[in-house]
Amino acid sequence: MEALALLLAAGLAAAEPAPQASTATVSAPEATASFSAVGDIRLDGPVAAIAKEGAAAPSKAVKELLDADLVFGNLETPLTKRGAKTSKTWNFRADPKLLKIVRAAGFNLVNIANNHVWDYGQEGFLDTLKALEKNGLDYVGGGRNRAEAEEVRVFEAGGLRIGVLGMTSTHPDQGWAKAKKPGVFYSDYNRIKDVVAKAKAECDVLVVSFHGGTELADEPNEIQKSVAHAVLDAGADLFLGHHPHVLQAIELYKGKMIFYSLGNFLFVSPTPTTRPSVIVKATLTKDGVRSVEIYPIDTNWGRPKPAAAAMAVTIRQALNRLGALDARPDLLKFSAP
């Protein structure tokens, strides 16, 4: 009987199907990266004075808000002790050593396509390029010839290739790059679509920084609108504007975001309306911009800090003039205090 029981047990075991390997596939995590952006940065004047307390002093109160894979701003100061002063109302110039302020804040990329980078001519401009390169700080929007000025910078982060271009419509025109002449990327409307399309082919997500508009104007002008729409139509995923020194509206254009002006950051202007500003932090995917977190800040005379409640209301109103924040709170997340 015992032998029979053993035989029956063996037969039942044989009848049971063998365990099968699972055919379920585990999908790879989605590739994402973060991109923080701010407005204008001027390293001489009051900001330089604050930095005597330490390179991190000017940005200390907002350093955590800036943190991202790529941290970007508009550097509106030549880095030089040389050069002939150009004829204009305001000329800026900073000791190249003051780049430590930018590095201490966490920036790893700046735009130099603007109306101040040529304040001390070609000599001052070339010194600026050398200083940025020596300090390992990437830049867009300028170069030793037009091809370099129009070159897209591509960064690898979070499994994505993130491309960034910088361009300007502002004067002085002697600072615009030519085929064999140093300078900045001038936003020639007849050429920018081709440049943007070529850049987009080299990356997953493309961000375009544009320096243009009317200083202290609440609304974008027609040049800003035309350039923004053109670059997004050509394939860019996000448009970031500088130059007015005040905040302007966000526009949603064919599902993409246009920040017409990010205002100031490390920049002291005599006009009180330039104090309200923002830090924007975009979450990027292969499909473009997933969402943007908007942090209202007070530029606070060279020491940016989170905005108080009353200023945050002013900031939201400025950004929402076209109704973008109300229309897409899932896409544009305003982090009020």
pLDDT in tens, 314-331: 999 999 999 999 999 999
pLDDT tier at 3, thresholds 50, 70, 90: very low
pLDDT in tens, 241-275: 999 999 999 999 999 999 999 999 999 999 999 99
pLDDT at position 337 = 81
Please give the average per-residue pLDDT across 301-321, as a whole number. Answer: 98
pLDDT at position 13 = 41
pLDDT tier at 26, thresholds 50, 70, 90: low
C-alpha 215 chain-centroid distance: 20
Please give the average per-residue pLDDT across 108-118, as a whole number. Answer: 97
| For residue 115, pLDDT beyond 90 | yes
pLDDT in tens, 135-151: 999 999 999 999 999 99
| For residue 200, pLDDT beyond 80 | yes
pLDDT at position 29 = 81
Whole-number average pLDDT of the chain: 93
Beta bridge partners of 238: 207, 257
Share of the chain above pLDDT 70, in %: 92
pLDDT at position 11 = 42
pLDDT in tens, 100-109: 999 999 999 9
Sign of torsion over alpha carbons 41, 47, 52, 54: negative
pLDDT tier at 336, thresholds 50, 70, 90: confident
Pick the CATH number of 31-334 from 2.40.50.140, 3.60.21.10, 2.130.10.10, 3.20.20.370: 3.60.21.10
pLDDT in tens, 214-242: 999 999 999 999 999 999 999 999 999 99
pLDDT at position 135 = 95
